[in-house]
């Protein structure tokens, strides 16, 4: 059994206030304590609508060896000034950002990051401040998608896993995704779904990235049912009113007891997410992650 724990208490990293630097402000979104609507108990445990991990669609198991098949279709797109564009699976739209050197005509296999926003946020906004935050916008070597379908709202767990699966299938038909380098990530409400879907379908993922969120209420079943001990990176806030630190630490301890390789940190602060959490702590982990 192997696991890694990186536990540190450090100062809050600086965060600019420009466009794309964080979740939207205002009541009813993920910008402040108590605004998420996803926490179901005072200790931060989050409830899912089921118990044992049921499958929300075909189970995808990464085959042994190699990056897997290349794209099967041409998917026209028009980038905005920051390099983002939207595509649509049969179930929802999603925002995409490609590596600067990705050649659509002569593609090479790349990792994939599937990002899930928090309550009140939008796919495009989360793509900008989370999935390809800061310096990663110009230098990342993975394909990033930020899932739509719940714009301005929260995710349903586990039901919205069907949207995740559809987006992954669709983007893999458009671009060459390395089948062993797929990761799922989420902030707050998106983090609950990322944990739930990532653990249910562990065989198809290299890892899970989490900011200011927690394990679902059916965590024991999810952890025991996971196909392998995939990598996990988790950044938490000590004064998070939506995910109290006692509940987050309880989830951390479950992950470690179950043998998952976890890199975890706690920072001062409330529920607000920051681009620095992603660009300086979470996103760099993708480079070393691969599914078996």
149: region left, alpha or beta (phi > 0 left; psi from -120 to 50 alpha): left
217-221-222 Cα angle (round to 5):
80
191-194-200 Cα angle (round to 5):
140
pTM tops 0.85, yes or no? no
Domain boundaries, the chain: 84-288
Q: Which of 236, 240, 168 is closest to 198 using CA atoms? A: 168
At 66 the pLDDT is 87
At 13 the pLDDT is 27
273: region left, alpha or beta (phi > 0 left; psi from -120 to 50 alpha): beta
Tell me the mean pLDDT in the region 78-97. Answer: 97
What residues contact residue 27 under an 8 Å CB cut-off, 6+ apart?
Answer: 35
Q: Measured between alpha carbons, how far is 228 from 248 in angstroms, rounded to an integer?
A: 22
Residue 193: pLDDT above 70?
A: yes
Asked if 175 and 71 count as a contact pair (C-beta separation under 8 A), the reply is: yes
Q: What percent of the chain has pLDDT over 70?
A: 78
DSSP summary character for residue 130: I
Fold of 84-288: Rossmann fold (3.40.50)
Asked if 178 and 198 count as a contact pair (C-beta separation under 8 A), the reply is: no
117-172 per-position pLDDT tens digit? 999 999 999 999 999 998 889 899 999 999 999 999 999 999 999 999 999 999 99
| Residue spans of beta strands (DSSP E) within the chain | 5-6, 84-88, 93-97, 110-116, 143-147, 177-187, 207-211, 231-237, 262-267
Asked if 152 and 223 count as a contact pair (C-beta separation under 8 A), the reply is: no
How many Cα neighbours within 13 Å face the side chain of 161? 23
DSSP summary character for residue 77: -
Element (H, E) at 173: helix 161-174
Mean pLDDT across the chain: 83
8-56 per-position pLDDT tens digit? 333 222 233 333 345 644 323 333 323 343 333 323 333 333 333 333 3
Tell me the mean pLDDT in the region 209-228. Answer: 97
Choice among 10-24, 167-181, 187-201 with the minimum mean pLDDT: 10-24
At 23 the pLDDT is 61
Helix, strand, coil percentages for the chain (3-state, nearest 5): 25, 20, 55
Asked if 115 and 133 count as a contact pair (C-beta separation under 8 A), the reply is: no
What's the burial of 42, exposed, middle or buried (CB within 10 Å: 0-12/13-18/19+)?
Answer: exposed
At 190 the pLDDT is 98
Q: Measured between alpha carbons, how far is 253 from 227 in angstroms, rounded to an integer?
A: 19
269-290 burial code (b ≥16 CB/10 A, e <16)? bebbbbbbbbbbbbbebbeebe
- CA 125 to centroid of chain Cα atoms: 14
At 22 the pLDDT is 58
């Amino acid at each position: 059994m192997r696991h890694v724990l990186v536990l540190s208490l450090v100062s809050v990293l600086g965060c600019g206030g420009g466009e794309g630097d964080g979740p939207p402000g205002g009541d009813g979104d993920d910008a402040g304590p108590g605004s998420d609507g996803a926490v179901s108990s005072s200790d931060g445990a989050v409830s899912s609508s089921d118990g044992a991990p049921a499958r929300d669609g075909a189970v995808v198991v990464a085959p042994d060896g190699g990056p897997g098949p290349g794209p099967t279709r041409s998917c026209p797109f028009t980038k905005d000034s920051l390099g983002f564009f939207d595509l649509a699976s049969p179930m929802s739209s999603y925002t995409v950002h490609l590596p600067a050197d990705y050649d659509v005509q002569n593609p090479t296999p790349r990792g994939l990051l599937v990002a899930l926003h928090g309550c009140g946020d939008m796919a495009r906004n989360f793509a900008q401040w989370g999935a390809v935050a800061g310096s990663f916008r110009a230098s990342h070597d993975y394909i990033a998608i930020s899932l739509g379908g719940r714009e301005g709202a929260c995710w349903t767990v586990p039901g919205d896993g069907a949207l995740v699966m559809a987006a992954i299938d669709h983007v893999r038909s458009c671009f060459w995704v390395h089948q062993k380098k797929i990761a799922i990530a989420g902030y707050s409400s998106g983090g609950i779904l990322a944990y739930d879907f990532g653990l249910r379908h562990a065989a198809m993922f290299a890892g899970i990235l989490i900011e200011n969120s927690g394990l679902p209420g059916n965590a024991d079943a999810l952890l025991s049912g996971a196909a392998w001990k995939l990598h996990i990176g988790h950044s938490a806030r000590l004064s998070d009113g939506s995910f109290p630190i006692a509940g987050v630490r309880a989830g951390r301890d479950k992950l470690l007891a179950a043998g998952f390789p976890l890199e975890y940190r706690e920072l001062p602060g409330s529920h607000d997410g920051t681009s620095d959490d992603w660009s300086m702590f979470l996103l760099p982990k993708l480079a070393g992650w691969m599914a078996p």
